Structure 1
């Protein structure tokens, strides 16, 4: 069984709904990224990641960078593990309210122009095909994977902290949750 590590990005330099829609990491986030790298590389050799995957967004790419550099690999950019797709007709100003409403409900009840339960399936399919991999992603995408693996329809399965590491296993076809990452109060809600 290969080990998969879902890492929420480090603390960004601005919060969601702010003026910068693709912020990088602040100083604390950079420290968190280095701590995540150190933890990942301290795993037993059979469980240590050899590949790095990142959401296309800057905060994830910057969180992935220390791990990728130390492993000597380029991070693969995978939009599937990116932020939850926002309905096309939704304005940037309306996105925070849409997200708050989505967080309170179920995957099937999210209002938008796509099937959000199918998106959860795409995330799991992307993860299943990987070997030992560190995947740097987002709060909602990690919840999408965890809730799918737990068989629950609630959007929020848990509240992963910045650089929280959730451990999964895959045999190349199926994915299993081993351990949820650290939880913390978050400004997302």
Structure 2
């Protein structure tokens, strides 16, 4: 079984609901990105990632950059592991309230024009074909994976901290959770 490392982006310079819809990392986030790199490079050679994949959003790309540079690879950008899609009829200003509501329920209860249970399945499928890869993603996308793999229908299966590393294994068809990453001391809600 090949290892996958699902890393939440580092602390952004602004939070969701602020005016900047695609913030980069603040100083703490940059330090977290370097700490994630150091943890990954500290793994035994056989377990170390060989590839880096990132969500298209800046906070993930900036978190992935130190690892990609250290490994001497170009990060692959994959929208499939990006943020949860917002319903088309929803304005950017309404997204925070929509997310707060989604966090309280199950995947089947999320209101929108997308089948969010199918969305989380698509993320897991996109991970299954990757091996020996560091994947830089988002809070809700990581919850989508963990909830699917653990059979939990709640949107919030756990609260991954910034730059936490969730360890998965894949045989090329299926994905298995090895260990959840560090949980945040504070709540997103």
Q: Shorter-chain TM-score: what band?
A: over 0.9
Which consecutive unaligned segments of at least 5 residues does structure 1 have?
none
Secondary structure at 1:94's aligned position in 2? helix
* Distance in structure 2 (CA, Å) of the matches to 1:186 and 1:124: 26
* Distance in structure 2 (CA, Å) of the matches to 1:135 and 1:186: 23
The equivalent of 2:162 in structure 1 is 162
Deviation by residue 1:54-80 (Cα, 9 ceiling, x = unmatched): 000000000000000111111000001
Partners of 1:106 and 1:153 within 8 A in 2: yes
* Distance in structure 2 (CA, Å) of the matches to 1:118 and 1:186: 29
* Distance in structure 2 (CA, Å) of the matches to 1:138 and 1:17: 15
The 5-angstrom pairing of residues 121-160 of structure 1 reads 121-160=121-160
Partners of 2:159 and 2:187 within 8 A in 1: no
Quote the offset at 1:187 in angstroms. 5.3
Deviation by residue 1:58-109 (Cα, 9 ceiling, x = unmatched): 0000000000011111100000100000001101111111000000000001
Which consecutive unaligned segments of at least 5 residues does structure 2 have?
none
Quote the offset at 1:185 in angstroms. 3.0
Q: Give the TM-score normalised by the residue count of structure 1.
A: 0.99
Q: In the alignment, is residue 92 of structure 1 matched against residue 73 of structure 2? A: no
Q: Which runs of 4+ in 1 moved over 4 A?
A: none
Superposed CA RMSD: 0.7
The equivalent of 1:64 in structure 2 is 64
Aligned positions, number: 189
The 5-angstrom pairing of residues 18-97 of structure 1 reads 18-97=18-97
The equivalent of 2:13 in structure 1 is 13
Secondary structure at 1:185's aligned position in 2? coil
Deviation by residue 1:111-155 (Cα, 9 ceiling, x = unmatched): 000100001111001100011000000000000000000011100
Partners of 1:16 and 1:188 within 8 A in 2: no
